[in-house]
């Protein structure tokens, strides 16, 4: 049975049983505890916590999930995957254990002709929590399962929680026995490779307290309602129903391995080490494509760093398999072909996905070149010392800085005839993982308690009137202070005000909230911010300036008209810049985030490489041409499929409802899904001035601009600055660029002459340094502080000149400078001194700590810099002592 069919049967089974089918949420949710969605129940957390009333009593979904804690184990075992699909059915105070067990059992064991999966009931096992006699009785009654195939397990295995205070409860898991050829008899407790978990039924009935780990927390008591949360692993069911050994050999994953075989020339199933690499490619390619599709871009922290690691592990694995050419585009195309029947956006958005993935591959291949140089230097150092082993510290630096996995370092070391201190490497890796785990645990906290808003959310959404008016009559539904309801607020109080209707825009979609006032007879309250709860309840954060505000009051809520005008200019200007970017750069310049406020906009977009000056000029020109064209701005509400059919652009990673608001500016010029406020005609935006363009991460660029009056003020300031420069240069404004270029060229020539003079002055000191040479054993040593202000390049020239003047005698030159707050240094060792066993690179270690310096080099020359000039005397003393020791004094 194909994986897409497994998904379809699951959803249809539960829809027939009265469940509402809910689409998969994005892998990125606004949850401080989660980097990615990692379970099917995550999008339903507010319902389980009782913070919101669910719109349905029963739900079913197939949720895309990503877990990366075990990323290093992917491929080594066949049980670890970073991306997987979790099919689930959920009950919010409706049914409980009996129905959950019945639904799971019938789907698993009903025949294929009857819509089930056709599993042999005799090969299914169940586990239950230690004291959950009710679940055990139901397995016997509903499934007819004998005692011998039901096992009781402790909290670590069969008690579920989110790892933080909140809902929890015992769970019951369903396992499939693959047969004696896969392991020992004895059920899941004996061997979880033979007995594969395919479904977990969580009986969410209690509330947990503080604690750590899976079984070290207090159970506070029962929840108000008993809920059901189940999860069936789609990939695990697929490999069992398809008769293969693991998920890597299923219909959606094996094609990636096949493509990897094709581009590398190696075969899967021949070598254990190669098989690991094939599985890494197959797993990570799927995960990377899904993450990019939901708006993640490679970066150096958070979600971006995870994606970067996945993509780089693909490149490394392909390289280790023998691929010399880029392979990422091939792998992404296979993922698209196999997964798009369930996730159509992989097809419609493929060009962007491919661009991001290939861009990271290109960047990493360059990094591999840099890392290889570091590796070569490490090899030279080890061999020069007569050693046979590359240190764990060096291997860890290659991994941490350049992304070299240990297996790549091991292979390269073996080619060089060396080994690697794997124990040292793994010790450093363990320390890093512990730090990361401790940091993640420290940042975990209980979900914000939004219970106080639940009644208000249940009453219905706030009516937003701001599209048509700036002042609206409204009723105060509630006042909230410190997370609790309060009947009144008086002068000086800062409270949250919930109104039944409001013209003030609540922050969303990149547009910051309106400022404004809430007034009544004798009452004035300043609105500083407006936020949304559950995407539909407006929460006004206000300071009472005069009088007393009371729950139930009829008030006037007003948005500041100047603030609103500026914010609409900024938001409409953002749409115009987006359209201009796509017109100049093409459809791959896709929005990756935005911020707009009165007079200003910031727009992030997916793009590889900096924009040229000509491209920036074109974008600004296209934008202002559209502004001056005075396009009409039209808004309308339609369903999501129709909006997409019309060509409306959506923000990647955003979850939209069945109905969406479309903002159209100038017909085909700009059409986007947007809930923000906008001007009525494009000319009302005013002039748009791009301030600059920069990088905010791999594959993501940012443009910033002023609009309207702020744009005029900026240009006026620039004009004044230009006029001032023109006056100083005594030329007309239009001749300033040429005049500045002449001055820069004259300055460049003068600097070159100064450098020559300075170099001559430095070299003139060489003789004086030679006169200070000390005889140490059988060699001459010059260890001195250089003249103030001599930089690294001049220092190197001086050291080479001094060394040359020492003639045929063994000589060592060590010069420490003091320039621009740094301590540059150079060590030079001639051939006779090298024959005595002295090496420039090794001498750095003797004085480096004294000046807080780092550097290195080869036997004849080493250089670097420190930061502590006060340590120069001690550093020189240390190197004299070291040379004396090596020279046999």
Q: Is residue 369 part of a domain?
A: yes
Give the DSSP letter of residue 668: T
Measure Cα distances from 62 to 65, 241, 277 in Å: 9, 18, 29
Q: Is residue 738 part of a domain?
A: no
Run of H or E including 567: helix 561-585
Q: Which pLDDT score, from 0 to 100, does residue 31 have? A: 65
690 burial type by CB count under 10 A (0-12 exposed, 13-18 middle, 19+ buried): buried
Q: Which pLDDT score, from 0 to 100, does residue 455 have? A: 87
In the predicted model, what is the mean pLDDT of residues 485-513? 94
Run of H or E including 569: helix 561-585
In the predicted model, what is the mean pLDDT of residues 38-56? 86
Domain harbouring 809, CATH code: 3.10.310.40
Measure Cα distances from 642 to 158, 436, 639, 673, 675 in Å: 46, 45, 6, 12, 17
Same domain assignment for residues 176 and 281: no
Cα–Cα distance, 123 to 120 (Å, whole number)? 6
In the predicted model, what is the mean pLDDT of residues 748-762? 75
| Residue 402 banded pLDDT, cuts 50, 70, 90 | low
Q: Where are the alpha helices (DSSP H) in 247-327?
A: 254-264, 272-293, 302-320
Largest CA distance in the chain: 101
**70-79, 214-223, 430-439: the lowest-pLDDT one:** 430-439
Run of H or E including 796: helix 792-805
Same domain assignment for residues 400 and 428: yes
User: Could you report how far apart the first and last alpha carbons of the chain are, in Å?
Assistant: 81
In the predicted model, what is the mean pLDDT of residues 465-470? 95
Tens of pLDDT along 545-576? 999 999 999 999 999 999 999 999 999 999 99
Same domain assignment for residues 364 and 458: no
Q: pLDDT at residue 445 above 50?
A: no
Measure Cα distances from 496 to 493, 530, 538 in Å: 10, 9, 10
Q: Which pLDDT score, from 0 to 100, does residue 358 have? A: 92
**69-83, 302-316, 452-466, 511-525: the lowest-pLDDT one:** 69-83
Q: Which pLDDT score, from 0 to 100, does residue 433 have? A: 66
Q: Cβ distance 432 to 400 under 8 Å?
A: yes
Give the contacts of 75 (CB within 8 A, at least 6 positions apart): 275, 276, 277, 278, 279, 280, 283, 317
Q: Dump the DSSP string for 518-562.
A: EEETTEEEEEEEEEEETTTEEEEEEEEEESEEETT-EEEEEE-HH
Run of H or E including 135: helix 133-143
Q: Which pLDDT score, from 0 to 100, does residue 443 have? A: 42
Cα–Cα distance, 820 to 211 (Å, whole number)? 53
Same domain assignment for residues 432 and 362: yes
Cα–Cα distance, 420 to 590 (Å, whole number)? 45
Same domain assignment for residues 379 and 498: no
Cα–Cα distance, 293 to 26 (Å, whole number)? 9
Q: Last residue of a domain, which of 230, 249, 268?
A: 249
Q: Is 684 or 725 the better-scoring residue by pLDDT?
A: 684
Strands 471-481 and 463-464: unpaired
Q: Cβ distance 697 to 304 under 8 Å?
A: yes
CB atoms within 10 A of CB 251: 17
Q: Which pLDDT score, from 0 to 100, does residue 199 have? A: 96
CB atoms within 10 A of CB 728: 10
Cα–Cα distance, 889 to 882 (Å, whole number)? 10
Q: Is residue 502 part of a domain?
A: yes
Most confidently predicted of 163-177, 211-225, 783-797: 163-177
Same domain assignment for residues 550 and 649: no
Both tokens of 130, joined, read 């230690």
Q: Is residue 517 part of a domain?
A: yes
Domain count, the chain: 5
Q: Is 13 annotated as a binding residue?
A: no
Q: Which pLDDT score, from 0 to 100, does residue 210 have? A: 84
Give the DSSP letter of residue 868: -
Q: Is 65 annotated as a binding residue?
A: no
- Average pLDDT value for the chain: 89
Same domain assignment for residues 435 and 541: no
Q: Is residue 750 part of a domain?
A: no
Q: Identify the CA nearest to 598 among candidates 714, 676, 708, 516.
A: 708
Q: pLDDT at residue 33 above 70?
A: no
Q: Identify the CA nearest to 595 among candidates 567, 618, 617, 620.
A: 567
In SS3 terms, 143-158 reads as HCCCHHHEEEECHHHH
- Give long-range contacts, CB 8 A cutoff, 24+ apart: 370-376: 370/402, 371/398, 371/401, 371/402, 371/403, 371/404, 372/412, 374/398, 374/401, 374/402, 375/404, 375/409, 375/412
Q: Which pLDDT score, from 0 to 100, does residue 284 have? A: 96
Q: Is residue 742 part of a domain?
A: no
Most confidently predicted of 16-20, 221-225, 594-598: 16-20
Q: Which pLDDT score, from 0 to 100, does residue 449 have? A: 62
Q: Identify the CA nearest to 593 among candidates 654, 636, 679.
A: 654
In the predicted model, what is the mean pLDDT of residues 494-513? 94
Cα–Cα distance, 250 to 236 (Å, whole number)? 9
Run of H or E including 435: helix 422-443
Most confidently predicted of 58-67, 377-386, 400-409, 687-696: 58-67
Q: Is residue 396 part of a domain?
A: yes
Most confidently predicted of 158-162, 662-666, 750-754: 662-666
Q: Last residue of a domain, which of 680, 696, 716?
A: 716
Both tokens of 682, joined, read 């494009």
Q: Which pLDDT score, from 0 to 100, does residue 223 have? A: 85
Report residue 269: phi and psi, to 5°: 95, 5
Same domain assignment for residues 27 and 164: yes
Residue written as tokens 């003091």? 818
Q: Where are the alpha helices (DSSP H) in 607-702?
A: 613-628, 640-645
Query: Does residue 40 sit in helix, strand or coil?
Result: coil
Q: Which pLDDT score, from 0 to 100, does residue 177 have? A: 97
Tens of pLDDT along 336-351? 999 999 999 999 889 8
Cα 504–Cα 508–Cα 513 angle in degrees, nearest 5: 35
Q: pLDDT at residue 16 above 90?
A: yes
The percent of residues in the chain predicted with pLDDT above 90, rounded, is 56
Measure Cα distances from 175 to 83, 170, 228, 246, 594 in Å: 21, 17, 19, 15, 47
Q: Is 540 annotated as a binding residue?
A: no
Q: Which pLDDT score, from 0 to 100, does residue 174 have? A: 97
Give the DSSP letter of residue 844: H
pTM of the model: 0.70
Instruction: Label residues 167-197 b or e (16+ Cβ within 10 Å = b).
Output: bbbbbbbbbbbbeeeeeeeebbeebeebbbb
Same domain assignment for residues 312 and 335: yes
| Residue 78 banded pLDDT, cuts 50, 70, 90 | confident
In the predicted model, what is the mean pLDDT of residues 682-690? 95
Same domain assignment for residues 203 and 64: yes
Domain harbouring 19, CATH code: 3.30.930.10
Tens of pLDDT along 358-389? 988 988 888 777 777 778 888 888 888 888 89
Run of H or E including 127: strand 124-129
Q: Is residue 741 part of a domain?
A: no
Q: pLDDT at residue 439 above 90?
A: no
Q: Which pLDDT score, from 0 to 100, does residue 448 have? A: 55
Q: Last residue of a domain, which of 249, 281, 303?
A: 249
In the predicted model, what is the mean pLDDT of residues 47-56? 85
Q: Dump the DSSP string for 62-102.
A: EEEEE--TTGGGBTTBSS--SEEEEEEEEEESS--HHHHHH
Q: Which pLDDT score, from 0 to 100, does residue 321 have? A: 93
Same domain assignment for residues 125 and 203: yes
Both tokens of 758, joined, read 């300075």
Same domain assignment for residues 539 and 416: no
Q: Identify the CA nearest to 845 among candidates 866, 830, 831.
A: 866
Q: Which pLDDT score, from 0 to 100, does residue 444 have? A: 47
**248-252, 620-624, 693-697: the lowest-pLDDT one:** 693-697
Strands 548-550 and 501-502: unpaired
Tens of pLDDT along 840-860? 988 998 999 899 888 878 889
Tens of pLDDT along 253-299? 999 999 999 999 999 999 999 999 999 999 999 999 999 999 888 88
Q: Identify the CA nearest to 157 among candidates 213, 73, 232.
A: 213
Q: pLDDT at residue 719 above 50?
A: yes
Radius of gyration of the chain (CA): 34
Could you list the residue range(s) of the whole structural domain that residue 497 is in?
451-559
Tens of pLDDT along 152-200? 999 989 999 877 777 889 999 999 999 999 999 999 999 988 999 999 9
| Residue 438 banded pLDDT, cuts 50, 70, 90 | low
Cα–Cα distance, 616 to 24 (Å, whole number)? 38
Q: Is 19 annotated as a binding residue?
A: no
């Amino acid at each position: 049975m194909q994986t897409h069919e497994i998904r379809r049967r699951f959803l249809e089974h539960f829809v027939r049983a009265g469940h509402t089918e809910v689409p998969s949420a994005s892998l990125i949710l606004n949850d401080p505890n989660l980097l990615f969605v990692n379970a099917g129940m995550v999008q339903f957390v507010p319902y389980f916590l009782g913070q919101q009333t669910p719109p349905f009593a029963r739900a079913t979904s197939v949720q895309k999930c990503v877990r990366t804690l075990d990323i290093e184990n992917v491929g080594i075992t066949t049980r670890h995957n970073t991306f997987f699909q979790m099919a689930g059915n959920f009950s919010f105070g409706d049914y409980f254990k009996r129905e959950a067990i019945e639904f799971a059992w019938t789907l698993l064991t009903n025949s294929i002709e009857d819509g089930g999966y056709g599993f042999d009931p005799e090969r299914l096992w169940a586990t239950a929590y230690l004291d959950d006699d009710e679940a055990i009785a139901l397995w016997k009654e509903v499934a007819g399962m004998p005692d011998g195939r039901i096992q009781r397990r402790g909290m670590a295995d069969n008690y579920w929680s989110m790892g933080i205070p909140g809902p929890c409860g015992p769970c019951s898991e369903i396992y499939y026995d693959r047969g004696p050829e896969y392991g020992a008899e004895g059920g899941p407790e004996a061997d979880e490779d033979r007995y594969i978990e395919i479904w977990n039924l969580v009986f969410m009935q209690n509330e947990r307290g503080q604690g750590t780990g899976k079984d070290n927390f207090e159970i506070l008591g029962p929840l108000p309602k008993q809920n059901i949360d189940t999860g069936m692993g789609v990939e695990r069911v697929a490999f069992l129903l398809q008769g293969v050994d693991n998920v890597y050999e299923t219909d959606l994953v094996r094609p990636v391995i096949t493509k990897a075989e094709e581009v590398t020339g190696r075969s899967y199933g021949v070598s254990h080490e190669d098989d690991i690499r094939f599985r890494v490619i197959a797993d990570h390619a799927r995960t990377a494509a899904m993450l990019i599709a939901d708006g993640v871009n490679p970066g150096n922290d958070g979600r971006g760093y995870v994606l970067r690691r996945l993509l780089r592990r693909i490149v490394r694995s392909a390289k280790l398999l023998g691929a010399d050419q880029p392979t990422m585009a091939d792998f992404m195309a296979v993922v698209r072909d196999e997964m798009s029947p369930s996730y159509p956006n992989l097809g419609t958005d493929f060009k962007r996905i491919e661009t991001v993935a290939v861009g990271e591959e290109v960047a990493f291949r360059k990094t591999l070149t840099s890392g290889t140089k570091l590796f070569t230097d490490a090899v030279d150092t080890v061999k020069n010392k007569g050693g046979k082993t590359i240190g764990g510290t060096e291997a860890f630096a290659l991994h941490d800085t350049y992304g070299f996995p240990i297996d790549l370092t091991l292979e390269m070391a073996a080619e060089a005839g060396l080994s690697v201190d794997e124990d040292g490497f793994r010790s450093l890796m363990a320390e890093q993982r512990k730090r990361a785990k401790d940091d993640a645990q420290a940042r975990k906290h209980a979900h914000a308690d939004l219970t106080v808003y639940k009644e208000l959310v249940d009453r219905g959404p706030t009516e937003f009137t701001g599209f048509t008016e700036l002042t609206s009559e409204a009723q105060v539904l509630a006042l909230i202070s410190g997370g609790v309801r309060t009947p009144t607020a008086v002068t000086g109080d800062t409270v949250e005000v919930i109104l039944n209707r409001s013209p003030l825009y609540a922050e969303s979609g990149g547009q910051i909230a309106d400022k404004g006032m809430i007034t009544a007879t004798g009452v004035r309250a300043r609105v500083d911010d407006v936020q949304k709860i559950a995407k539909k309840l407006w929460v006004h954060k206000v300071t009472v300036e005069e009088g007393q505000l009371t729950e139930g009051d009829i008030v006037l809520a007003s948005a500041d008209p100047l603030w609103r005008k500026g914010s609409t200019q900024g938001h409409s200007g953002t749409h115009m810049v987006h359209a201009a970017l796509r017109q100049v750069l093409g459809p791959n310049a896709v929005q990756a985030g935005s911020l707009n406020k009165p007079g200003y906009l910031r727009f992030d977009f997916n793009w590889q490489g900096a924009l040229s000056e000509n491209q920036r000029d074109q974008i600004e020109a296209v934008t202002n041409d559209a502004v001056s064209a005075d396009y009409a701005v039209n808004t309308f509400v339609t369903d999501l499929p129709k909006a997409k059919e019309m060509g409306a652009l959506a923000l990647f990673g955003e979850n939209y409802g069945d109905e969406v608001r479309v903002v159209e500016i100038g017909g085909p010029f700009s059409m986007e899904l947007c809930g923000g406020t906008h001007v009525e005609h494009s000319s009302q935006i005013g002039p748009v001035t791009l301030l600059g363009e920069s990088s905010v991460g791999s594959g993501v660029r940012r443009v910033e601009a002023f609009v309207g009056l702020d744009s005029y003020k900026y240009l006026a300031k620039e004009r004044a600055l230009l006029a001032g420069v023109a006056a100083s240069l005594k030329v007309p404004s239009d001749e300033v660029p040429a005049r500045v270029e002449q001055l820069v060229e004259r300055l460049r020539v003068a600097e070159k002459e100064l450098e020559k003079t300075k170099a001559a002055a430095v070299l003139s000191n060489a003789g004086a340094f030679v006169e200070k040479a000390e005889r140490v054993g059988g060699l001459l040593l010059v260890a001195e502080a250089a003249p103030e202000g001599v930089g690294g390049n001049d220092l190197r020239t001086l050291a080479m000149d001094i060394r040359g003047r020492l003639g045929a005698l063994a000589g060592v030159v060590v010069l420490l400078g003091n320039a621009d707050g740094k301590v540059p240094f150079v060590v030079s060792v001639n051939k006779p001194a090298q024959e005595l066993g002295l090496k420039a690179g090794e001498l750095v270690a003797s004085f480096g700590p004294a000046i807080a310096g780092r550097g290195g080099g080869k036997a004849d020359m080493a250089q670097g810099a420190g930061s502590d000039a006060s340590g120069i005397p001690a550093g020189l003393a240390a190197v004299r002592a070291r040379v004396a020791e090596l020279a046999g004094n």
